[in-house]
Structure formats: C-alpha cells, structure tokens
Structure 1
Amino acid sequence: MIVFYKVRAVIDSDLINHVRSASRLMVRELGFMQATLAATDYPPSSVHTIVELGNRESLTAVELVALLGLEKSSVSRMVRKLIEAGEIEEVTNEQDARSKKLQLTDQGRQTLCAVDAFATQRVGAAMAHLTEVQQQTVSEGLGHYAVALRTQRLGTQTPAATLEIARGYRPGIIGRMVQMHASYYARYVNFGQPFESLVATDMAELMGRLDNPRNQVWAALDGERIVGSIAIDGEGEGGGAVLRCFILDDSARGKGAGKRLLAEAIKFCDEWGFGETRLWTFKGLEAARKLYEDVGFTLEQEHEAEQWGGKITGQWFVRPGPGKALA
C-alpha cells in the first residue's frame, strides 16, 4: 500500500478551531472560570500549588514560579496567603541555605486529599460516558497536547519518545491501518470513500493470510496505541514479496518509526530469501521514495491513471533479493 511520508504535518484550521473550542469547554466544565476550585475556598492557582507540592513533597519559590508559569510577585502573594491559611509552611533548604523550601502542613495534606477525591470523582464520572478506546484516546491525547503546550511556552523541544515496533497481528490493527490511511489521504490528496473501502478490503484479506509464515505485519506502538504499520505479502507472483500497509499516524512522524518499520520488513524479506520485493506508490511522494531507495528499491515503471477521484502517476518499485543482489 502507498504511503505519503511527511515529516511535519500541516495543521488544518478546522482542527485548530475544534481544539480551541474543546479547551474552552473544558475550562468551563472543570470550574476554572469560578473564583474557587475543587470544592475549596481557594482560587485555581492555589489549588494547583497544593496538588503539585503534594506530588513533589517540596519546592522552592523559584521552582514554583517556573512550574506555574506565573510572575514571581503573584506567586509570592499566593504563597504568603497559603502559609497564613495553614496549608503550607517554609522549611530549611538543605541544598541551599539562602532559600527556603515549601511543603504541605498536616492541614494542607488533608486539603489535598479532599481535592484529589473531588477531582477523581469528577473525572471518573465523565470518563464513564466514554468507551474504553475513547478513554485511552483521551488520556494519550491530553498528555501529548499538554506537553506540546509546555514546549511552545518554554521555547524548547522535548526529546521524541521512543516507539516500540511489535511484530504480528494485534487486536485493532486492521481498523487502525484503515483509519490512518483514510484520514491521511483524505487530508492531503482528497481520496475518499472508494479509497477507504479498497484499503479496508485489502487489509482484511491480507490479515486473513497471516497463518502463512511468509506473510507478516508490524506495528509501531505508542504505549498500547498503534501509530504505524507495515506488512509483507509473501505470496506474490514468481515467489516474490509485496510491501504493503506502510503508513504512519501524524503523531509518529519525525521519530524514526518509518525507517524502523521498513528495516524490519526488509530484514524479513532477506531472511526468507524472496527473489524480489515490490511495492506500488505514486509519483510526488519524494520523502517516501528516498526511504525506499535507501534500502535498495529502484523505480521499475510508472503510468498515469484516473484513480480515487483524481489523476495520479502510479509507480512500481522493485528491490532484488539477496541472491540477485550478489549475482
């Protein structure tokens, strides 16, 4: 199957507007528009401070400023009020005698327990309206989005998370391969329902033949979520193989997942000694073409055709097997 490999995705304006709208709704529903938060008498910044001090045991005022992203004067006033209220206290900083550390008092820990109980109930009740798959999507998506917001604010780039490459069928892989193909190509080349239906049929048919050891599939995993795939159909004509199902989710691009998936597939082909490995794609996918050529594929033929709602130039790439390569 074809792949349109792109390092940096174009962010659609409708997507941005949807995220903004959802963010505003979350702010309202979580109570951040109110003067107090989480069934306490404190504003959101104070509640956030109590929670973070509970998670970290202690923080200096400087660390708290950096964590909250607030002005030093605002944090100083908030800290003073929480000390006066008996929620936090200053203790000696053993690493730096010039500064003090802030930590929760016994009262503060009781307040933290009440905040945690309130938040757990609210989040749990809301998540109960979602399926298990939706719950996982919300958890992973919010985590990625929160890190991206912090990266943008600080002007730094966080290290790319290492993705796992897993071999073999796993529940949900057919649906995810179809979804990734359909979503990506609808955005970038306007392929619609006929393309999605074809991908669904092809993926289901191939997965039904994995009992033949000459066929195999690999998935790139971010935790338990499938964010990339590639497959080898080892029942091609003349004893050859066909590389198929190569696709990455936008969240997996730029992390080396494409190269790793391709390397696993090529290693599999060489171990089986296929006479050749072929793949079909179309002209214009230069980043993908470089990946293919880097592992030994060469363009064999191309032709123009009307397909999936537009005119494309189809291309066949071929990579000789290890025996032919040495001949």
Structure 2
Amino acid sequence: MNADPAVIEEIRALSRAMVRAWGFMGGEFAGTDLSPSAVHALIEIEKGGVTARELGVRLHLEKSSVSRMLRKLVSCGDVKEMAAETDGRVKLLSLTAAGKARVAAIHAFARQQVENALGRLGEGEDRTVLAGLRFYSKAQGALANGEGAGRSPEIVPGYHPGLIARVTEMHVRYYGREHGLGQRFEALVAGGLAEFCIRLDRPNNAIWTLRQDGEIVGSLAIDGEDLPGNIAHLRWFIVADGARGGGAGKRLLDAALAFADGWGFAETHLSTFSGLNAARHLYESRGFELTQEQAGAQWGKELLEQRFVRRLP
C-alpha cells in the first residue's frame, strides 16, 4: 500500500502531540517521578520471568542503559534480582512489595488517563480508536521484527475477558486430539478455571497468558489456596500448537515460579499424566521431581497420573 503523504504528515503530527500529552518530553510520567523507560521496565518486570537482557530487547535499549536503570530501580527498592535455577549467572527480575504498589498506581493513573480521553468521544468512537491502534501497532511490530516477521508471544498477567473460554478451548483441542479426553475433561477444566478466576483478587493467586496478535496462545496459573501447608499449585499450563518451540513455555513457567518463590511457598506441586515427555523435561529442568504415580481416571479416562513437586530453592 502506498500511503498518502498528507496522511503520513498528519499521523506524525498526532504522534508528537500524543507523546507530549503522555509526558515523554519531561516532567511527571504516568504520575511518577520515573523516566518513561523505567516505567515501561517496571511494567515488563511485573509480567514475570524476565532477565536484564530480555528487558533490553523488549524496550529496545542498550545493555549499559538497562544496567543503569536497573541499579536505580533496585536501589530505590522497587526491583529485586534472583539467580535463575538453571544458571546462577542469569538474574531474574521481580518486583518488591513497594514495586508492586508503584506499578498498581501506574496502571490506575494510565487507566484514568485513557478513560478521561475516551469520555470525550462519541458513541462507538472508542472502538474506532482501538481498531486503529491495533492496526498501527501490528504494522510497527512487523517493521521492528523485519518485514513479514511475526512478533514473539507476550506474557500478560491477570484475568482478561474471554480467558476462561479460550484456555478451556486450548486444553480440549490438544488433549482431545492427542489423548482422547472429552466431555468430563472439558467440564473439569472450565469449572475449575472459572472458580479460580473468582479468587484472583487474593494476592497469592495469579494467572498469566501468552498473547500473540491479540490472541491467547498459552496460559499458566499459580493457585496459592487449594493445597494445604504453604504449597503452591501450578495449574492450566498449556501453549497452543503454533506458539510452541520458541521458548514461550519456558518463559511462562519461569514467571510462575518467580511468583511462587517470591511468596515463599515451601513447595510447588503440579498434577499431570505419563506420556507428556516434553513437558516433563521442562518441569525437571526447573527443579520438579516425580513423587507419585498411580493409575486413575479423574479426567474421564484411565491414565497413569503423576504428581511433580518442586521445593523452594
């Protein structure tokens, strides 16, 4: 498509106006005394499972710039570093309690800022704005990744509309096709996930989804309540067919385990069944051990059910 030069110039002018309105030119940004890059860094770290190197890639910043920024965020008590289990030289970043409070305030400020602007629009114009931003963001993402290249899935924390249906669908499609699980399995996944989502307002519960071009392509949750004795339950871990093979599952799992370790759960448990060899390899690479194995039919079919346990490092 050959864009109209007049359209190009107007988009440039509008982009400059938005940048100024959002505070990128100095002064307070997102209601904080932080730089725009630091605010964006905190939001990326909130998603979990991110290292300093990955942060630089996501924010398009040089290594030295990321190092300086992280030193400030650590020194002011918003961010902490933890050695990864698989390589002690790699530091996983996570938010402290103060950092979580600051990010919550950033989100509240930004939501109010958007709400105030959309409130000045006419009926249905908010959807027009959203559609335009989606198209433009998708085009910019393709440009940044090379012409025609797809963007890697993004980890998004928390509940979003459609999550229960989509995560259930991914489970049913995969396990129905590969292992013959059907109606009972679907009902258990949907019912359990719906009940859990009602409890997401409690801070020891969390869920993450992988998003690619606006679609959920993976999920994982930590349920901090349904097992007794300070034990976290890892649940609903799945990555859709087209998103496998690029390390997305590892990033999801690392985000969840960083959350569990941050809460100080003594153990993290997960239930699965024999034959899922790739998943088992990933679990064991992150410190899980097979502790129980027995025949059972809780998912609607006779399977060799397994329990894996990971203890707090």
TM-score category (smaller protein): 0.5 to 0.7
1:272 matched residue in structure 2: 263
Shift of 1:257: 1.1
2:154 matched residue in structure 1: 164
Equivalent residue letter for 1:241: A
Larger Rg computed on CA atoms? 1
Shift of 1:159: 5.8
Gaps of 5+ in 1: 1-51, 58-131, 144-157, 323-327
1:255 is aligned, of 226, 232, 246, to: 246
1:226 matched residue in structure 2: 216
Shift of 1:56: 12
Equivalent residue letter for 1:200: A
Aligned equivalents of 2:279, 2:290: Cα separation in 1:
13
Shift of 1:162: 1.1
Change (3 A) 1:272 1:203: same
Equivalent residue letter for 1:182: V
- Does structure 1 conserve the Cα–Cα contact (< 8 Å) formed by 2:188 and 2:299? no
- Does structure 2 conserve the Cα–Cα contact (< 8 Å) formed by 1:168 and 1:218? yes
Normalised by the length of structure 2, the TM-score is: 0.52
- Does structure 1 conserve the Cα–Cα contact (< 8 Å) formed by 2:231 and 2:265? yes
Shift of 1:300: 0.4
1:190 matched residue in structure 2: 180
- Does structure 2 conserve the Cα–Cα contact (< 8 Å) formed by 1:304 and 1:312? yes
Shift of 1:256: 1.5
Shift of 1:289: 0.3
State percent identity of aligned pairs: 49
Gaps of 5+ in 2: 6-126, 139-147
2:13 matched residue in structure 1: none
1:317 matched residue in structure 2: 308
Matched, 1:288 2:256: no
Q: Map 1:208-219 onto structure 2 (within 5 A).
A: 208-219=198-209
RMSD of aligned C-alpha atoms?
A: 2.6
Aligned equivalents of 2:4, 2:252: Cα separation in 1:
39
- Does structure 2 conserve the Cα–Cα contact (< 8 Å) formed by 1:181 and 1:247? yes
Aligned equivalents of 1:232, 1:321: Cα separation in 2:
14
Aligned equivalents of 2:187, 2:301: Cα separation in 1:
16
Q: Deviations over 1:11-53 (max 9, x none)?
A: xxxxxxxxxxxxxxxxxxxxxxxxxxxxxxxxxxxxxxxxx6x
Q: Deviations over 1:147-182 (max 9, x none)?
A: xxxxxxxxxxx8663111011111111111101001
Shift of 1:252: 1.1
1:112 matched residue in structure 2: none
Change (3 A) 1:310 1:159: same
Equivalent residue letter for 1:178: T
Equivalent residue letter for 2:154: E
Shift of 1:212: 0.8
